[in-house]
């Protein structure tokens, strides 16, 4: 097991937790961090169960699709999507991620490209110019709630009517689980978990108050490796992520004009009713939508 890669919740590069203004690029603070996160993301090539389900659902249409992959990271989804679609564009606000993609897909055909771009302004792309847009692995949680709305509006704009969109985001209903001290085996693991636990409690309010809200900005510790590394880079390891209630997310999507085709739990179960969706305590949910 690679202990660098959390299995139940995932965050991103330090410094990427604040949205840069449109057109500006967020910089990663140190070369070591950049390398660390780029390497983690670049090593991934698996699909998450909801992604598998949605890609299968679109299997017949993919070969004719122009696809925009926002927050492409190290190319996990590129591996799975680019060979199956007519044209693939991966964007990320982090230049280090783009360098990783350029290297990883050096032999790519002309139909696959990468571009630096912030999700809140997809200005390089024309209206109705894509058939499918994705923003995977909770990348959208780096944005504050109003910025997330801007990103979702931009995704709506660049999609053609009838085009599809898929993203995942952290579920506020799961937040209380981060306030539990997890069982660990080994002294080092216990130390890391104790530090995470203390920091989460110190930096955030009471979970009962947070969970009464529709959406919150939550400080969390990401990619703990060793206690020493953690202490040295304490504040660089602290990320801020948006957690939202499913009903608030649905409302935001519907206000923009999206029609939701399906909401999926972590293991791919379809949350068929609003009751099921609102009751889910999974760490994150996938929203699969269409532009009517
Ligand atoms: C958790 S990583 C996921 C990477 C990749 N999609 C994957 O699934 O492996 C999130 C990615 O989103 C990017 N990102 C975050 N906010 C962004 C924004 N506003 N615009 C573009 N990219 C963003 C980060 O730089 C990071 O590469």
pLDDT tens-digit series, residues 63-89 = 999 999 999 999 999 999 999 999 999
Average pLDDT over residues 30-45: 76
In this predicted structure, the answer to whether residue 267 has a pLDDT above a threshold of 60 is yes
pLDDT tens-digit series, residues 143-183 = 999 999 999 999 999 999 999 999 999 999 999 999 999 88
Distance 42 CA to ligand 1 centre (A): 12
pLDDT tens-digit series, residues 200-251 = 898 898 999 999 999 999 988 765 555 555 555 555 566 789 999 999 999 9
Residue 33's CB is within 10 A of a number of other CB atoms, namely: 19
Return the minimum-mean-pLDDT range out of 100-109, 130-139, 181-190, 271-280: 181-190
Task: Name every protein residue with a CB atom under 6 angstroms from any ligand 1 atom.
Answer: 10, 12-13, 16, 19, 41, 44, 70-73, 76-77, 92-94, 97, 118-120, 136-139, 142-143
Pairing verdict, β 159-171 and 130-135: parallel
Go through 70-102 and write b for each residue having 16 or more CB atoms within 10 A of its CB, e for each that does not.
bbbbbbbbbeebbeebebbbbbbbbebbbebbe
Mean of all residue pLDDT scores within the chain: 86
Q: Whose CA is nearest to atom 10 of ligand 1?
A: 139
> Could you give the C-alpha distances from 81 to 56, 112, 258, in angstroms and in order?
11, 10, 23
Q: What is the pTM of this model?
A: 0.88
């Amino acid at each position: 097991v690679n202990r660098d890669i959390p299995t139940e919740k995932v965050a991103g590069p330090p410094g990427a937790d604040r949205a840069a203004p449109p057109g500006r690029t967020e910089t990663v603070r140190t070369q070591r961090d950049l390398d660390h996160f780029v390497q983690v993301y670049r090593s991934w090539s698996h699909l998450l169960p909801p992604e598998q389900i949605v890609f299968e659902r679109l299997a017949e249409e993919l070969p004719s699709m122009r696809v925009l992959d926002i927050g492409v990271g190290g190319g996990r989804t590129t591996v799975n999507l680019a060979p199956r679609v007519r044209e693939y564009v991966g964007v990320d606000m982090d230049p280090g991620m783009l360098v990783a993609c350029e290297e990883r897909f050096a032999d790519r055909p002309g139909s696959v490209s990468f571009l630096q771009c912030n999700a809140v302004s997809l200005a390089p792309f024309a209206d109705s110019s894509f058939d499918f847009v994705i923003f995977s692995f909770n990348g959208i949680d780096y944005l504050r709630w109003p910025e997330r709305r801007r990103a979702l509006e931009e995704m709506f704009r660049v999609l053609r009517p009838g085009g599809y969109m898929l993203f995942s985001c952290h579920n506020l209903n799961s937040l209380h689980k981060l306030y539990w001290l997890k069982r660990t085996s080994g002294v080092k693991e216990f130390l890391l978990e104790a530090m995470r636990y203390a920091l989460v409690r110190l930096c955030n309010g009471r979970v009962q108050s947070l969970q009464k809200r529709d959406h919150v900005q939550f400080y969390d510790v990401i990619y703990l490796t060793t206690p020493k590394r953690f202490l040295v880079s304490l504040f660089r390891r602290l990320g801020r992520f948006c957690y939202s209630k499913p009903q608030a997310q649905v409302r935001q999507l519907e206000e923009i004009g999206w029609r939701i085709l399906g909401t999926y739990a972590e293991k791919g179960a379809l949350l068929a009713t609003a009751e099921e969706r609102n009751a889910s305590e999974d760490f994150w949910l996938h929203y699969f939508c269409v532009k009517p």
